Each structure stands twice: as structure tokens, then as C-alpha cells.
């Protein structure tokens, strides 16, 4: 069975819009650099200040604090650009490019997926760069190259999950500011997870929140791939959680787009 001409055209359109998204990111390097520099600075400070925490009873056995926080820094880096697909869509709505796309022969689905695919690709590259820097400073990914690929996939899937929310807001409000408002929520969610400290050593309401935080469900199995070695179960869990969330958020974005076009 071969793909129909409609599907081929939609895939080509998705690729072109993804390329446009990546090119926009490349032209605005100042938007990308904070997502790389800030996690690296935080990793340098934390590895210096919290290295004694490695001796605490119940703390995961790691050779270096860098190994422990590697997954957290990747997630943090991704959070800086996760709303890019939504802000780009809001900008296109504000400047009228969205209306021109809708009036053109472009299929509806690529309008959303193209931007998300571009943002996901940039996130995967960010993750690879961060892993390379961590390795250069003595970190070790015991899960090997396969674990690094999982980390890159997790980064891409997280962008799809968060970017879907951004696109829903972009479609409903047409405002870049409304989309950007989701960033603080994501940032707080990272700190209220197991990103920088194991939940086993937490207490009270903070532990309850961290244990039930979806970000924890992603970071913990990813961390085990880094500090313990390869595990198919951990790899699947690390990718399934953000993939499931992405399926929901992207579906909501598609539904919001259909409603918007139905009213116009």
C-alpha cells in the first residue's frame, strides 16, 4: 500500500514548516543560549555546593553529582524553548501569516505539527549538547549511547507535550504573552519534582507533590539510565509518560484549531 498524494503533500508541508521553525530558532540564538547556559551554570553551582549530599543515607549511589542532575538539566534546558511552537503560532496569528496559511492549499494538521516538529528537533539537539558538555566534565552515562538517544527522545517528547499546551493557548488567545505565561508554571514544576533531590529524602507536603509530579515520573527513570545502566523498562517509562501527555495536548490543539476554523 502506498501513501496517497494528499498524505505526501501533508508530509512535505510539515517538513517545510518544521524547517521554517528551526531556521527561526537559528536566527535568534539569544533565545537558545539561555536554555543551555543557565542549566550548565546551575549544574556547576549544585555540583560544588551539594556534593556532600552524596554521602547521605538513602541518596542514590553515584560517582558524581553531575551524574545525578544530568536529566534535570536536560529537562530544564528544554523548558526554556518548550513554548516556542506556541509563541510562533501566536506570532503568525498576530501578523496575519496564519490567515494566509489557512487560505492556501496547506493542510490543517501541518500548521500545528510542523512547528512542533521543529521545536522537538531543536530540543533533541540541546539535549545532545548538554550531554556532551557533562561528559567532558567527568559525568558518565552508564546506559551508554542507547541511553543518550533516550534522553534526546525524552527532550523532544517533552517539547511536544508542553508545546501542545502553548498552541492551544495561541489558538484561543492569539497572544504571545499568554503562551509565554506557561513558562513559569513549567519552571516551578521542575523544582517541585525529583529533579534536584531524591523524593526518598523529602518530607511533608513537598514529598507528596514531588512524588505525584509527572516530571518526576520522567526524570527518575531517565536518571536510572544515567547512574545505574541500561534498562528497557526505564527507557520505556521515560518516553511513554511525555508521549502520553503529548498525545493529549496535541489532540487538544488540533481540536482548538478545528473550532477556530469552524467559526471563521
Domain containing 97: what range?
5-263
Residue 111 has pLDDT above 80, yes or no: no
Q: How far apart are CA 137 and CA 114, in angstroms?
A: 35
The three cell numbers locating residue 8: 505526501
Q: What is residue 194's DSSP assignment?
A: T
The predicted-structure confidence for 119-142, as pLDDT tens digits, reads as follows 888 889 989 999 999 999 888 999
**φ, ψ (nearest 5 deg) of residue 136:** -65, -25
- What pLDDT is stored for residue 39 in this prediction? 85
pTM of the model: 0.86
Q: How far apart are CA 167 and CA 22, in angstroms?
A: 17
How many domains does one find in the chain? 1
The three cell numbers locating residue 42: 546551575
The predicted-structure confidence for 57-108, as pLDDT tens digits, reads as follows 878 888 788 899 999 999 988 887 777 777 777 887 887 777 777 777 666 7
The predicted-structure confidence for 141-185, as pLDDT tens digits, reads as follows 999 999 999 999 999 999 889 888 888 888 888 788 888 888 788
Q: At what angle do helices 182-191 and 65-81 cross, to 10 degrees?
A: 170
Instruction: Identify the sign of the CA torsion 54, 60, 65, 69.
Output: negative
- What pLDDT is stored for residue 248 in this prediction? 94
Q: How far is CA 93 from the centre of its chain?
A: 23
The three cell numbers locating residue 219: 526524570
The predicted-structure confidence for 249-260, as pLDDT tens digits, reads as follows 989 988 888 887
Amino acid at each position: 500500500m502506498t501513501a496517497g498524494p494528499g498524505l505526501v503533500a501533508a508530509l512535505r508541508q510539515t517538513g517545510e514548516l518544521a524547517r521554517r521553525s528551526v531556521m527561526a530558532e537559528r536566527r535568534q540564538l539569544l533565545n537558545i543560549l539561555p536554555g543551555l547556559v543557565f542549566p550548565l551554570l546551575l549544574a556547576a553551582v549544585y555540583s560544588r555546593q551539594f556534593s556532600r549530599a552524596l554521602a547521605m543515607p538513602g541518596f542514590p549511589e553515584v560517582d558524581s553529582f553531575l551524574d545525578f542532575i544530568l536529566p534535570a538539566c536536560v529537562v530544564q534546558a528544554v523548558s526554556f524553548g518548550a513554548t516556542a511552537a506556541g509563541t510562533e503560532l501566536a506570532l503568525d496569528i498576530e501578523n496575519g501569516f496564519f490567515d494566509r496559511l489557512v487560505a492556501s492549499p496547506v493542510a490543517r494538521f501541518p500548521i500545528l505539527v510542523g512547528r512542533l516538529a521543529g521545536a522537538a528537533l531543536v530540543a533533541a539537539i540541546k539535549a545532545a549538547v548538554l550531554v556532551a558538555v557533562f561528559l567532558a566534565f567527568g559525568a558518565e552515562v552508564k546506559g551508554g549511547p542507547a541511553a543518550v538517544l533516550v534522553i534526546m527522545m525524552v527532550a523532544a517528547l517533552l517539547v511536544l507535550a508542553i508545546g501542545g499546551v502553548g498552541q492551544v493557548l495561541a489558538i484561543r488567545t492569539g497572544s504571545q504573552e499568554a503562551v509565554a505565561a506557561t513558562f513559569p508554571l513549567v519552571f516551578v514544576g521542575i523544582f517541585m519534582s525529583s529533579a534536584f533531590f531524591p523524593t526518598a529524602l523529602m518530607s511533608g507536603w513537598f514529598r507528596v507533590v514531588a512524588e505525584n509530579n509527572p516530571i518526576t515520573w520522567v526524570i527518575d527513570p531517565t536518571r536510572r539510565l544515567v547512574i545505574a545502566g541500561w534498562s528497557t523498562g526505564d527507557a520505556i517509562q521515560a518516553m511513554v509518560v511525555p508521549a502520553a501527555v503529548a498525545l493529549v495536548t496535541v489532540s487538544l490543539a488540533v481540536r482548538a484549531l478545528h473550532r477556530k476554523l469552524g467559526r471563521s
